[in-house]
Amino acid sequence: MSDQIIRLTAAETAAKIASGELTAVEVTEAHLARIEAVDEKVHAFLHVDREGALAQARAVDEKRARGEKLGPLAGVPLALKDIFTTEGIPTTVGSKILEGWIPPYDATLTKRLKAADVVILGKTNMDEFAMGSSTENSAYGPTGNPWDLTRIPGGSGGGSSAALASFQAPLAIGTDTGGSIRQPAAVTGTVGVKPTYGSVSRYGMVAFSSSLDQGGPCARTVLDAALLHEVIAGHDPMDSTSIDAPVPAVVEAARNGSVTGMRVGVVKQFRGEGYQSGVIQRFDESVALLKELGAEIVELDCPSFDLALSAYYLIAPSECSSNLARFDGLRYGLRTGDDGSHSAEEVTSLTREAGFGPEVKRRIMLGTYALSSGYYDAYYGSAQKVRTLIKQEFERAFEQVDVIVSPTTPTTAFPIGERADDPMAMYLADLCTIPTNLAGNAAMSLPCGLAPEDNLPVGLQIIAPAMKDDRLYKVGAAVEAAFVEKWGHPLIEEAPSL
């Protein structure tokens, strides 16, 4: 029975809890048992809040017993990326500098999950401060991809994607600065959505790059992602970048998937050298499928997209250099060298040396250099101009098409350690996802089969204009249904055994 429970979708689980066929406690216990059974091998979680999760589940069952109406995800377990503050349980952001820090407040997203009676199982592993594409940069060790534990589960949100793919949770939360929701989804055969920038509150989300960071839903199906999206999205006066506008009808779109009459753009810059042949094969099949389903395919040329990676790796490190200045060893978190023999400046230096990992230090130094006197205009200023060009090219493209599709990642999951000493090779994992973050648009990755050469998942990326997130779900649901009808769900039916 426990194995059957963990393989239900979030929508199915919520329906069974609402009808009384299952209790929230039974569902939570089944997932906690799964975590205990497999997470020693996967290492998706940094902290499991067993008592807290069971208390939340009991509260849901009590509500149902009293006849109270339950929300669409009441009692459904969720894995929360360890970048959102959670009152009473640790938030480390995958870094030693915040090891053991217990926040005194909840992030807005965390509050909304609790208000919707979603059961938070615990906090998931991630690249330190969300800086990475493989979850190898976590100070607490790497996470394995459930398809092949010797390979990466993507990054920075590899813990959340691995929790889904190993059936430790039916829902998860990630954050996406340059692809950190979509890239992990692609390489684990799951669904990940980067909502429009500003449509999900960043209050209580530890900042990496403030103009790029965006929280979003992760799931195993498009409908589950839509249900979660609806819970976490919406205006928040605590976040100065929050959009004060209604949340698009994402659940309705996911329930009524169709591409009939839609114009779907294919950008020529999203293929070529460095792309794995199996990834291109599955992408071309996806484009053919969209045409078969009634979409018109439009070829697009967006030359500035070739500059996106360079622009991103100036803008993101510059903003991280500013944001991470708050970690000084004096206010909270790790403090090293405070023995009476060092000055405050020396304590700060020793704390940062001990608390930050190599990738975080690399990006802080890159960003500090790009912002320094005499170099600001040449580097950071120029990158922001390129960002404007990319945004304008997206706007012109969306005058011709309703959505854009591409491979989510150039390759399938690579072996752990393969790119650890080659930062540029690591950064190329986000080649297809970064332009969307720079423009602030909405995007989704969903499974589109397995690459024939290694039998590992491939992701299809769908990009929509800002505040048109419902188009992602409308197209994604149509593609998902067609794939399941033709080949079966690549995760639910072919997932590896742990």
Residues designated as active site: 81, 156, 180
Q: Which amino acid is at 226?
A: A
Question: What is the rounded CA–CA span in Å between residue 239 and residue 379?
Answer: 28
Question: What is the rounded CA–CA span in Å between residue 390 and residue 392?
Answer: 5
Question: What is the rounded CA–CA span in Å between residue 55 and residue 35?
Answer: 17
The pair of structure tokens assigned to 211 is: 């103009």
The pair of structure tokens assigned to 273 is: 């050298």
Tokens 């339950």: give the residue. 70
Question: What is the rounded CA–CA span in Å between residue 6 and residue 220?
Answer: 12
Question: What is the rounded CA–CA span in Å between residue 53 and residue 40?
Answer: 19
The pair of structure tokens assigned to 15 is: 């329906």
CB 223 within 8 A of CB 211: no
Helices 382-400 and 308-323 pack at an angle, to 10 degrees, of 130
CB 121 within 8 A of CB 77: yes
The pair of structure tokens assigned to 262 is: 């839609």
Polymer length in residues for the chain: 498
Question: What is the rounded CA–CA span in Å between residue 254 and residue 340?
Answer: 60
Q: Which amino acid is at 40?
A: E
For every residue of 113-173, DSSP letters joined together read: HHHTT-EEEEEE--SGGG--SSSTT-TT-PPPBTTBTTB---SSSHHHHHHHHTTS-SEEE
Report helix, strand or coil for 77. strand
User: 488 — alpha (psi -120 to 50), left (phi > 0) or beta?
Assistant: left
Question: What is the rounded CA–CA span in Å between residue 91 and residue 87?
Answer: 9
Q: Which residues pair with 145 in a beta bridge?
A: 148
Q: Radius of gyration (Cα) for the chain, nearest Å? A: 21
